[in-house]
Chain A
Amino acid sequence: MSAHAATAHGHATHEHHEMGFLRTYVFSTDHKMIARQFLFLGLFMMLIGGALALIIRWQLAWPETPVPGLSGILSETQGILEPSTYNMAFTMHATIMVFFVVMPILAGAFGNFLIPLMIGARDMAFPTLNMLSFWTTWTAGIIMLAGFFVPGGHAAAGWTSYAPLASVVEYTGVNWGQNLWCISLFVMGIGSMMGSINYITTVINMRAPGMSMFRMPLVIWSLFITAILLLLALPVLTSGVAMLLFDRLLGTSWFRPSGGGEPLLWQHLFWYFGHPEVYILILPAMGIASEILPVFSRKPIFGYHAMAFSMVSIAFLSWIVYGHHMFVSGMNPALGMSFMVTTMVIAVPSAIKTFNWLGTLWGGRIQFTVPMLNSLAFVSMFVIGGLSGIFMASTPVDIYIQDTYFIVAHIHYVVFGGSIFGAFAAIYFWFPKMFGRMTNPALGYLHFVGSFIFFNVTFFPMHIIGVGGHMRRIYNPTQYEFLQPMQHWNVIMTIGAIGLGISQIPFIINFFWSLFGGKKAPMNPWNSTTLEWTAPSPPPHLNWGAKLPTVYRGPYEYSVPGASEDYSPQTQPDHAPAGARRH
C-alpha cells in the first residue's frame, strides 16, 4: 500500500515563487518553518520553566531566604517566596515544561520537521491547518503567561489541578490565574488536535513510493503513535478543563461534593489523559534515540519490528494503566489491583526497547558525537526512570512512596533524563538539516557533560529523600522533624540545579552562534541513510526538486557487507542481496 500514495500530490512543482517576509517567516504554511517556530516557542518557554525550577530549588534548600534576583519582582517580601508563590512556582514549572516545552519541541517541532522529510512528502497533508495549529498553540502560550500578571497570582493547585482545590476559588485564593490556566490548556488542546490529525493523515497517505509502513524510520513510527495518542487523549483533558472552568465560573459542581459532584471524577479524567501524555512526552524521544544510535553505531537498529511493535503496545497499554496514579486516592482498591497488573505489563515493552538499544550498540563502530552522547544519556536515564517506576507499580510499595520525592525523581528521570536529553540529541542531530549550519562540537560536549553530571546531582538524591518519606509540594521541609536530618540533600540538589542551569549557557551560545556563524552544513553530514538527508540543507520549500525520492530499502542499512560505503541510503536501488528486511 505505498507506491500510489504520493503520486496524487498535485502541487509538487508549480508555484515556487518568492514569498514575502510574513508568509515565509511568520504565517508560513511550510512544515519546516512551522517546525522552527515550535522549536523557538519551546526553547523560550524552557527558559521560563527552568527559572521557575531554580526558584523552587532555592526555597527548598534555604527556606524563606531571599531568592537572588527576585527582590525586584517580589519587592513586598524582599525576594522571599511566600507559600502561595511557591505553590504557583511548581504548578507553573510543571505546566510549562509539559505543555509548552516538551510537547512543542518533540511533537511540534520534530514532528513537523521530520514527518514529511523522512517519508518523502513535500509538506504536511493540510499545510494551512498546520499553521493554524502553531498559532493556536502560541496563543495558548500567551494566555498561560498572562496568568502571571493577574491579581491573585497564577494557578497554584499543582499541574494536576486536583479538584476541589482547583475548582473553588476560596480554597487557594487564586482567581483568574486558574481560569486562564484552564482556558490556555483548552486552546492548546484544540491546537494539538489539529496537529495530530495532520500527522496521522500525512503518515498514512503521503509516503513516497516504496516507503511501506515497515520501511519507515522508527522516529516516524513514534511520532505517528504519539499523534494517535494526542488525538485520543488530549480531548479528554480539553473537556476536563472546560468542566473545571464551568465549576469555577458557572457553579456547575462537576467536582464539588456539596453540589452533587465527585472530586475523583477530575482525577479519572485527568489521568485518563495524563498517562498517555507521559508516553506522548517520551515516545518521540524513544524514536529519536532509535534514529541516532544506529547512525553513530554504524549498524542497523537491533530488532526493528520489536521496536515498532513495542511502541504500539505501549500506546495501547497506556490507556489502561492510568489508575496507578490513584492507588491511594480512595478509588476502589479492587481497581487498584487491576491497574497494578496492567502497569506491570507496560514495563515489558519498555524493557524490550532498552535491550534492543543495547543490542544496537553491540558490535557497532561507536562514534561519540554530541547527538550520540545525548542519545546514550537518554537510554541510561530512561533505564533509571523505568526501573524506579516498578516501585510504584507495586501497589503496597506505592502506598508509601506516593506523593513523595521518589515520584518527583521518577518523572524527572523520564521527562528530563528521557525527553529533554532526547530533545537535545535531536537538536544537535538535525540542526544541520533544519538551519543549514553545523553546531560547534566543543560547546556541544561542554553542554552535554555539564548537563549529564548536574542532572544526576540534582535528581538522583530525590530518590533518597523520597525513600526517607520527604513529601512533594511542601514549601518548607524544615517544618518536619523527620525531614530535618535530610535537609543537606536539599542543599546538594539545589547546587546541582544551579549547575544544571549554568550548563545550558553553552547550549544557548552554541544554538544562536551556529544559527548565523556555524559552518555550512553538507547535505548528509552524518552519513545517514534516511530520506531527509537526500534533500539540501536546509531543504527548500517543497523539500525536493522535481522528483520525489523513491524508497528501495529499510531505514537502517549501515555497514552492509559488500556495499561501497558503510551506509546505504533508502533511495539507493536495491541490487545487492543485502539481507535487509523488505515488505
Chain B
Amino acid sequence: MRKALAGFAAISLVAGTVWFAVPRSAGAQGGGTIEVEVKYNGAPQVETIKVNKDTEQCGKEAKIEKVAVGANKGLANAVASVAGAKGAATAKKVSIDQKGCAFHPTVVAMTPGAIDILNSDGILHNLHTYSTANPSVNKAQPKFKKTMTEKFEKPEFIKVTCDVHSWMLGWVAVMPHPFFGVTDANGVAKIENAPAGKQTIEVWHATLGKATKDVDVKPGATTKVTIEMVKK
C-alpha cells in the first residue's frame, strides 16, 4: 500500500517535472537530461506511532519516515539539483495534499511562487512551516477549506508539519532555478533540460543532509550519475 502510494507520488512527480520542463526548452539552449540516482547504505528509519484521533481518516497507526529506502538501496525523497544554476521560475503551480493524515508528496520541490495546500481528508489540518528566509506560516485548514494557497518567495528547504496530527511531516524545497528533481521510491530523479557542460549536482535529504558530485552534462543526451549518501 505504502509502496504503491509512494510509487504513485513518484510517477506523478516525474510526470509533473517533464510536463513543466518541456515548454521551457527554448530558454536553455541545448540542455541535457541528468538522471540522478541517490543511494543509501544504511537501514530505513521509520517510526510508528499509534493514532488516537481522526482515526477514520488517519488510520490507527501512523508512520514517520525519516529515511525511506527503496529497491537497490535507492533513497527516496531527496532533492537533486544543479548547484549554482540560474533560470527563470516556472509557471506551474505545485501542490501538497493532506491525505490519510500524511503529506503527499512528502517532499515537494518548486521554484519561488505559490503552492496549493489541499485537504483531501476533510478534517481540520493546519499548515505550520519552519522557515528562516520566508515568513513562517501557521494556519488552520478546516475541513470545509479544500484548498489554501501559500507563497514562498525565497529559496529554502522548509519543514512542514501539522500540529493537529503531530506525526505529519513534509518538506517544501524552494529552489532558486528550475533544474531539480525529487527522487522517487527507488531513488531516481530526473533533471530535464539542464544546462550543458560541467555541473555540480547537489543532493539534499531532510535527515541525511547534503552531498555533491560533479558531472559533465551533454546536450541532447541523458547523463547518468549516482550519488551515495552517508549516514549522519
Bound CA–CA A78/B142 (angstroms): 13
Which residue of chain B has the shortest Cβ distance to A173 in the bound complex? Answer: B138
Dominant SS at the B interface? loop
Q: Are B138 and A172 in contact (CB under 8 A)?
A: yes
A574 within 8 A of B: no
Shortest C-beta distance, A74 to chain B (Å), equals 11
Enumerate 17 A-B pairs (CB-CB under 8 Å) in ascending A order.
A76-B145, A77-B142, A77-B144, A77-B145, A80-B142, A82-B140, A82-B145, A83-B124, A83-B140, A83-B142, A84-B140, A169-B136, A170-B138, A172-B138, A173-B137, A173-B138, A173-B140
Bound CA–CA A170/B127 (angstroms): 11
Interface string of A64-92 (1 = CB under 8 A from B): 10000000000011101011100000000
A171 within 8 A of B: yes
B143 within 8 A of A: yes
Interface string of B108-141 (1 = CB under 8 A from A): 0000000000000000100000000000111110
Quick one: which of B136, B137, B140, B142 contacts A64, CB cutoff 8 A? B142
Interface string of B150-161 (1 = CB under 8 A from A): 000000000000
List CB contacts (< 8 Å) of A140-182 with chain B.
169-173
List the B side residues contacting A173 at CB < 8 Å. Answer: 137-140
List the A side residues contacting B143 at CB < 8 Å. Answer: 64
Q: Are B136 and A82 in contact (CB under 8 A)?
A: no
Which residue of chain A has the shortest Cβ distance to B129 in the bound complex? Answer: A170
Shortest C-beta distance, A79 to chain B (Å), equals 10
Bound CA–CA A400/B215 (angstroms): 67
Bound CA–CA A80/B143 (angstroms): 11
Which residue of chain B has the shortest Cβ distance to A80 in the bound complex? Answer: B144
Q: Are A64 and B144 in contact (CB under 8 A)?
A: yes
List the B side residues contacting A76 at CB < 8 Å. Answer: 145
Which residue of chain B has the shortest Cβ distance to A175 in the bound complex? Answer: B135
Total A-B Cβ pairs within 8 A = 27
List the A side residues contacting B138 at CB < 8 Å. Answer: 170-173
Interface string of B182-204 (1 = CB under 8 A from A): 00000000000000000000000
Q: Which residues of chain A have a CB within 8 Å of any CB of chain B?
A: 64, 76-78, 80, 82-84, 169-173
Bound CA–CA A78/B146 (angstroms): 12
List the A side residues contacting B142 at CB < 8 Å. Answer: 64, 77, 80, 82-83
10 further A-B contacts with Cβ under 8 Å, apart from A82-B140, A83-B140, A84-B140, are: A64-B142, A64-B144, A76-B145, A77-B144, A77-B145, A80-B142, A83-B124, A170-B138, A171-B138, A173-B137
List the B side residues contacting A80 at CB < 8 Å. Answer: 142, 144
List the B side residues contacting A170 at CB < 8 Å. Answer: 136, 138
Most chain-A CB neighbours within 10 Å: which of B136, B139, B144, B145? B144
Which residue of chain A has the shortest Cβ distance to B54 in the bound complex? Answer: A479
Bound CA–CA A78/B136 (angstroms): 27
List the B side residues contacting A78 at CB < 8 Å. Answer: 144
Which residue of chain A has the shortest Cβ distance to B147 in the bound complex? Answer: A76
List the B side residues contacting A77 at CB < 8 Å. Answer: 142, 144-145
Most chain-A CB neighbours within 10 Å: which of B124, B136, B142, B145? B142
List the A side residues contacting B145 at CB < 8 Å. Answer: 76-77, 82
Bound CA–CA A172/B126 (angstroms): 11
Bound CA–CA A172/B140 (angstroms): 9
Shortest C-beta distance, A482 to chain B (Å), equals 15
Shortest C-beta distance, B124 to chain A (Å), equals 7
Bound CA–CA A173/B145 (angstroms): 17
Shortest C-beta distance, B166 to chain A (Å), equals 15
Bound CA–CA A77/B142 (angstroms): 10
Shortest C-beta distance, B102 to chain A (Å), equals 21
Which residue of chain B has the shortest Cβ distance to A87 in the bound complex? Answer: B140
Bound CA–CA A76/B145 (angstroms): 8
Interface string of B67-104 (1 = CB under 8 A from A): 00000000000000000000000000000000000000
List the B side residues contacting A82 at CB < 8 Å. Answer: 140, 142, 145
Bound CA–CA A84/B139 (angstroms): 8
Shortest C-beta distance, A3 to chain B (Å), equals 65
List the A side residues contacting B124 at CB < 8 Å. Answer: 83
List the A side residues contacting B144 at CB < 8 Å. Answer: 64, 77-78, 80
Bound CA–CA A83/B143 (angstroms): 10
Shortest C-beta distance, A477 to chain B (Å), equals 14
